Amino acid sequence: MGYMEIIIGGIFVNNILLAQFLGNCPFLGTSKKMETAVGMAMAVVFVLVLAGVITWLIYTFFLVPYKLIYMRTIAFILVIAALVQFVEMFLKKSIPALYAGLGIFLPLITTNCAVLGACILNIDKELSFMKTLVQSAAYAVGFGLALILFAGVRERIILARVPKPLQDTSIGLVTAGILSLTFYAFKGMI
């Protein structure tokens, strides 16, 4: 599998939100306003790439040699939780502007299944180190793209007259389905 395939595949064909259904809680939760969507997308790009690389290192150099593969889930979630905490402290100290921009979304990422899911998928596919890096970045960009597109659509829906039972999450899900359909069109590319 070449790098180009990984990039196109990660962003469009196997989009982590719309084709693999990972990270849907923040997808619906933070997409009502463009600002929060951009904040969440940036935070995910940041953490997902770091988490993908670090979990790969831990899996290859620690879990495999010591035959602890069955502890994978626990190890990964601890790494992600610690990483998020660390990133939060680091940003607060050195880049306060970005920290203020990300705000509440940074701690929420610990329980974002897109992050843990992407790490586990990378390990399951037995990718090399460089490919893990590229794949994580592609997934993260795909997440950001889908989230920001969806937020744009949802801002318009507020202006529309939606039947009462369909309001809010319900119409959000149907819209996500249509957005997912557009991403589905890329399926033949790989």
Partner 1 sequence: MAKTLTQEFTKGLWKEIPPFRLVLGLCPVLGVTTTMENGIGMGLATTFVLVFSNILVSALRNIIPSKVRIACFIIIIATFVVVVELLMQAYAYPLFLKLGVFIPLIVVNCIVLGRAEAFASKNNLVMSIADGLGIGIGFTLSLSALGAIREVLGTGKFLGASVFGPSYEPFTFMVQAPGAFVCLGLMLCIMNLVGSK
Residues within the interface to partner 1 (CB under 8 A): 18-25, 28, 70-74, 76-78, 81, 110-113, 116-117, 120-121, 124, 164-167, 169-174, 176-178, 180-181, 184
Pick 95 or 189: Cβ nearer partner 1: 189
Give 75: exposed, middle or buried? Use CB within 10 Å, 0-12, 13-18, 19+. middle
Pick 78 or 104: Cβ nearer partner 1: 78
Pick 124 or 126: Cβ nearer partner 1: 124
| Minimum CB–partner distance for residue 74 and partner 1 (Å) | 4
Backbone angles phi, psi at 92, to 5 degrees: -60, -40
Pick 2 or 163: Cβ nearer partner 1: 163
| Minimum CB–partner distance for residue 28 and partner 1 (Å) | 7
Q: How far is CA 38 from the centre of its chain?
A: 13
| Minimum CB–partner distance for residue 121 and partner 1 (Å) | 6
Give 74: exposed, middle or buried? Use CB within 10 Å, 0-12, 13-18, 19+. exposed
What is the rounded CA–CA span in Å between residue 133 and residue 145? 18
| Minimum CB–partner distance for residue 59 and partner 1 (Å) | 13
Closest CA to 187 of 6, 2, 9, 7: 9
